Amino acid sequence: MSALFNQRAVRLLSVASVLFGVAVIRSVVMRYPQPLPDWSEDEKPIHLEPEALSEYPAEFIESKKNPCWVSPRGTVDCLPYFYLAGMPKCGTTDIWLKLTKHPQISVSRKEPHWWGKRRVGMYRKSTLGSSATAYYELWGNLMRKVTMKKGEEYASKTIFGDGSASTFWGNSNWTSFHPNLSRCPDFAIPSLIHSIQPEAKIIVAFRNPIDRLFSDYLYFSRGLTSSEEFHESVKAGIEEFQTCLETIGDLHTCVYKADKLPSGRAVRLRVGLYSVYLEDWLKFF
């Protein structure tokens, strides 16, 4: 792989690593968790995104370790016990395979991508819908299958996990819910999950942002790779990000802003801005 790099690309990556990686240190050394935002009742995420959280569970079933509840429809719905929330191309599949070998973790589809993508209308043609009900039913159906196959005693102890690597960072479609806002709102996916599931377990894998970026590029380019194309794509991504900072002037908004690179360029620089996502999540968990 190193043969794909020329000296110009390496120099550019060095700049990118400073621009997109150094702030991680700031997040790690700050004291967390921070006090939760002082929202009024009407400002809480549960009210700000009622469609996304349409069937907020009043209480969970005490006899089950995995968070489940009886829905208004009379069925048992559930949420995952833990979230393997990110990051892409950082070994999440390997971690997932190891986790799901535990006898008390029931195997499910690794990446439903509901919080970061389907919730805001992406993957419209998928069998899993964008509503909160569809997401809750996904886990409720899994609980029913486990109960039928292995019995109530096992089902009461088993847990599920959502391994969607987009959950930690995938808030780029926030404008779908807030088209009149010019800046990203102060709440994102972590505040929404915390609103209904404050005891959720969050697992995140990080990788050197340069290595992650190149692996991402190779994966999404589907073999159509060259050092020149990678160089131009990284350059375009940095220029776009700097333009956003100059015009909008808000780091949070620019990080969560959807990438708009020229067609065919598969470089997602913003995914490597770990510190911004960490700060959001560590406010709540």
Q: Are 121 and 236 in contact (CB under 8 A)?
A: no
Residues 6+ apart with CB under 8 A from 204: 84, 85, 86, 87, 168, 281
- Greatest mean pLDDT among 22-26, 40-44, 251-255 lies in 251-255
Q: Do the beta carbons of residue 226 and residue 4 sit within 8 Å?
A: yes
Question: Which of the residue ranges 109-113, 119-123, 195-199, 269-273 would you say has the lowest mean pLDDT?
Answer: 119-123
What pLDDT shows up at residue 84?
A: 96
Compute the Cα dihedral for 197, 46, 126, 168 and give only its sign: negative
Per-residue pLDDT tens digits for 129-188: 678 888 999 999 999 999 999 999 999 999 999 999 999 998 777 776 677 777 776 667
Q: Tell me the CA end-to-end span of the chain in Å, nearest whole number.
A: 38
State the SS3 of 212-228.
HHHHHHHHHHCCCCCHH
Q: In the beta sheet, which residues pair with residue 159?
A: 105
More confident residue, 97 or 21: 97
Between residues 99 and 1, the one the model is more confident about: 99
Cα radius of gyration rounded to whole Å, the chain? 20
Q: What predicted TM-score, i.e. pTM, was given to this entire model?
A: 0.82
Strand partners, 145: none
3 state SS for 97-165:
HHHCCCCCECCCCCCCCCCCCHHHCCCCCCCCCCCHHHHHHHHHHHHHHHHHHHCHHHHHHCECEECCC
Identify which has the larger pLDDT, 203 or 14: 203
* More confident of the two residues 40 and 273: 273
Give the lowest-confidence range in 46-50, 147-151, 281-285: 46-50
Average pLDDT, the chain: 78
Least confident of 16-25, 144-153, 222-231, 273-282: 16-25
Stretch 103-115: mean pLDDT: 91
Confidence grade of residue 16 (pLDDT, cut at 50, 70, 90): very low
Overall average pLDDT of the 247-254 stretch: 86
Residue type, 64: K
Burial of 252 (0-12, 13-18, 19+ CB in 10 A): middle
- Alpha carbons 275 and 23: distance in angstroms, whole number: 6
- Spatial neighbors of 123 by CB under 8 A, at least 6 apart, are 113, 117
Q: Residue 32's pLDDT is what? A: 44
Q: Which of 17-26, 43-52, 129-138, 176-185 has the lowest mean pLDDT?
A: 17-26
